[in-house]
Every structure is written in structure tokens, then in C-alpha cells.
Structure 1
Amino acid sequence: MASFTRSDDLRGARFVDADLHGARFVRGDLSGVVMRGVDVNGADIDAPWLLDGEGSLLVNGVDVAPLVDAELDRRYPGRADRRAADPDGLRAAWAALERTWAATVDRAASMPAGTVDVSVDGEWSFAQTLRHLVMATDVWLRRAVLEVEQPYHPLGQPNVEFEADGNDMSVFSTEVPSFAEVLEARAGRVAMVRDFLAAVTPDDLAVTRRNPWAPQYPETTLSCLHTILEEEWEHHRYAVRDLDALEAPPA
């Protein structure tokens, strides 16, 4: 099977009568791709940045991005508040998110032993997803907003780009933690966001911050909090998707 990686530049490539049945694209840039006369039956697209900026996704001439967003809001009560712009709205949005995650953690814990460490289709396990959200809080709250010099919890789960960009991985533990340890780390970071929001003011939200990945682009406290909320809801969606797959009867 042919494999193309980050070092392969396929920009502008043209595929004519090519058989891509069963192909899998991971972390690729498909923006601006044009497909004509294609069979997409059973295709599964996951694009967490679908609504960023002025983005769109046209299917037979219809922009389906707003439809997808509305359906996700319907499926996940509280998700629609992830763009709250004032302290009270942000506090309510975080409280709804906490309730949602608590129910999902209870669901995962009730499944057969070891389920939380099972990967579906090479994705992060449930435990790894929670560890990544610890990392997300460390990046966007502790590093960007609170400006903590060494913000990372050792149990945090960085994404593949973090290491590829030459960042120091020694701050993270190489040991696989127990699920109890993961839950403890996660609970601490959830409480940290809750406590920050409890005291935040409108003036605080407007303070300019440095983007932790691209310092040349300014952020605000509010935009950093929005990023945390986006990370939380997207990874919750992934987690539920994979728990559903694990509970589904064998085909």
C-alpha cells in the first residue's frame, strides 16, 4: 500500500480515475481540494476546524458546514455556548462542559476493564484523550494566560506536532499512568479553569496574550478560553465516537 507522509508535497496533484477506495488521510491539508464526479458513499470526514474563519464545505453546491455545526449543537447540549463572550456566559459554558464530561467518564468507567486504554483506528484511547486535555489547559491557560514558566503536567499528552516542532519532551513522563492518576490530573486542571473563570472580569478577557504556538499572532484571554472550550468539545466528540464503536456489536 502506498504511503505519503509530511515530507511528500502533493499540492496541486491531479487524480483522474484513481481508485482511493478505503484510503485514509490523517492530519492532511485538504483545503481547496476540488472533487468532481466522485463516489463518496460511506466517506467519513472529520474536520474540527470546519467553521474556522470563512471556511466552507460545499457538497453538490450546498455549504454544509453550518448544518453540521447546528447538528453537533443539537447532539451535545451546551456546545453552542462555547463562544460565550462574557464572564457569566463562560462560567455557564464551563459548568455545562463539566457535566457532559462527568457523564462520559462515568460511562467509560462502567465499561469492561481496560476499555479506557483501547485505541480505535489508531486514535488516542479515552485515557490519552483526557491526558491531552490536561495538556491543552496547560498550553492555553497556564502558559498563554497565566504565563507559567514551566506549565506542563508530566502526565499531559502532547500531539505529534509538538515533538515534530522540536519542543522539549523531557517534561512529560514516559511511564503509562493508571486511570486513577489520569483522572486526578484531569480533575486538577478542570478545577483550575473553573477557579479562573470564577474570578475573571470583562477587562481580564480583553487582555492581549501571546499565541503559545505562533507568538507573532496576538490572542486575548477570551480567545485562549475559547480555544480551551473548542478543544474540550472536539475531543469529547472523538471520545464518544470511539466509545460508541467499542460498544457496537461485531459486524
Structure 2
Amino acid sequence: MTTFTGSDDLRGARFEGADLRGARFVGADLSGVVMRGVDVADADVDAPWLLDGRSRLLVNGVDVTPFVDAELDRRFPGRAQRRASDPDGLRAAWAAVERAWDAALDRAAAMPPGTVDVRVDGEWSFAQTLRHLVMATDTWLRGAVLGVEQPYHPIGQPNDEYALDGHDPSVFAEGTPPYDEVLDVRAGRLAMVRDLLATVTAEDLAVPRRNPWAPQHPETTLSCLHTILEEEWEHLRYALRDLDAIAAGRAGVTEG
């Protein structure tokens, strides 16, 4: 099987009559890709940034983005509140996040032992997803909003972008920490957001904040909270998708 990596520049490449059945694109930039007369039966596209309000996905000339967004809101009650812009709306949005994740935790706990450490198609396990959300909260709440100089808990799960952005990934622990510890730290981070929202004011939401990844692009308390909410809903979607795959015994399921 041919593998292309970041060192392969395929921008502007042309594929005519090529057989790409079963090909897998991970972390690939396919923006502006044009496909004509293609067979996309059973194709599976996961593009979270498609829903940032600035992108379109045209299928047979129809922008399907608003349909995808509306369907995800239907499947995940409370997701539509993630762009709330006032204190009361944000509190309601966060309560919805906590309810949704409580249900996901209950579902994972009811599955066979070890389920939380199972990986599907090489992606993060349920436990790793929770650890990543710890890191996301540390980045956007503890770091950006609260200004904590060393915001990261060692249990956090970094992604490749973190390491590539010149940050030191050694602050994070190696290996697989006990799941009970993951749950404890994760619960603490949920409470941090809840506590902030309990007293936040409209004036607080407008305070400028430093973007931890791109300092040249200023943020506000509100935009940092919106990023946290987006992270929560997107990773919940991934986690539930993978629990479905594990429960169904689909191919691509491996131990952590």
C-alpha cells in the first residue's frame, strides 16, 4: 500500500481514472479539491472545521454544510447552544455539555472492561479523548483566560499540533494513567469552567485574551469559551462514534 506523508507535496495533483477505493486521508488538507464524475458510495468524510461558518462543501452543486450542522444539532441536544454569547446562554450551554458527557461516561462504564482504552482506526481511545479535553481546558481556560503560567496538568493528552507549535510536550506524562485518575482530573476541569461561568459578566466576556497558538490573532474570553465548547461537542461526537464501532465489533478496533 502506498503511503503519502507531509513530506509529499501533492498540491495541484491530478488523478484521472485512479482507483482510490479504501484510501484513507488523515489530517490531510483537501480544501479546494475538485472531484468530477466520481463514485463516492459509502465515502466517510469527517471535517470539523467545515462548520466554522467560513467553509462550504458542495455536493452536486448543493452546499450541504447547513444540513450537516442542523442534523448534528438534532442528534446532540444542546449542541446548538455552543455559540451562545451572553452569560445565561453560556451557562445553559455548559450544562448541556455536562449532561451529554455524563451520559457518555455512563455508556462507557456499562461496556466490557477495558473499553475505555480501546482505539478505533488508530484514533484516540475514550480515555485519551478525556485527557485531550483536559489539555484543551488547560489551554483555553487556565492559560488563555486565567493567565496561569504553567497551565497544563501532566495527564493531558497533547496532539501533534501542540508539539509542532514549539511547545514542550515533555510536560505531559508518558504511558497510560489509571482511568479513575483521568476521571478525577477531568471532573475538576469541568468544574473550573462551571465555576467561571457562574460569575462571568458580559464585560468579562469582552476582555481581550492572548491566543495560545497564534498570538497575532487576539481572542476574547467569549471566543476562548466558544473554543472549549466546540472541543467538547466535537470530541463527544468522536467518542460516541467509536463506542458504536466497539459495540458493533467493527474492523479497525485495536487495544490502546
What TM bracket, shorter-length normalisation? over 0.9
Indicate yes or no: 2:140 matched with 1:135.
no
- In the other structure, the counterpart of 1:184 is 184
- In the other structure, the counterpart of 1:94 is 94
Q: Could you list the runs of 5+ residues in structure 2 that have no partner in the other structure?
A: 252-256
Displacement of 1:164: 2.5
Q: Could you list the runs of 5+ residues in structure 1 that have no partner in the other structure?
A: none
Indicate yes or no: 2:227 matched with 1:227.
yes
Displacement of 1:250: 5.6
Q: How far apart are the structure 1 equivalents of 2:80 and 2:172?
A: 33
Q: How far apart are the structure 1 equivalents of 2:121 and 2:72?
A: 22
Structure 1 stretches of 4+ moved >2 Å: none
Instruction: Give the aligned CA root-mean-square deviation in angstroms.
Output: 1.0
In structure 2, the CA distance between the partners of 1:102 and 1:3, relative to structure 1 (3 Å rule), is same
Q: How far apart are the structure 2 equivalents of 1:119 and 1:250?
A: 12
Moved more, 158-167 or 97-106: 158-167
- In the other structure, the counterpart of 2:68 is 68
Q: How far apart are the structure 2 equivalents of 1:196 and 1:221?
A: 11
Indicate yes or no: 2:157 matched with 1:157.
yes
TM-score (norm 2): 0.96
SS state of the match for residue 170, structure 1?
helix
- In the other structure, the counterpart of 2:238 is 238
Q: How far apart are the structure 2 equivalents of 1:191 and 1:178?
A: 20
- In the other structure, the counterpart of 2:254 is none
Percent identity between the aligned chains?
Answer: 76
Q: How far apart are the structure 2 equivalents of 1:57 and 1:181?
A: 41
Query: How many residues are paired up?
Result: 251
SS state of the match for residue 162, structure 2?
helix
- In the other structure, the counterpart of 1:172 is 172
Structure number with greater CO (CA < 8 Å, separation at least 6) is: 2
SS state of the match for residue 119, structure 1?
strand
Q: How far apart are the structure 2 equivalents of 1:109 and 1:194?
A: 24
Question: Over residues 71-118 of structure 1, what are the superposed CA-to-partner deviations in whole Å (9 max), with x where a residue is unaligned?
Answer: 000000000000000000000000011011001001001100000000
Q: How far apart are the structure 2 equivalents of 1:116 and 1:106?
A: 11
Kindly report which structure 2 residues correspond to 1:23-102, keeping only aligned pairs within 5 A, or say none. 23-102=23-102
Displacement of 1:51: 1.9
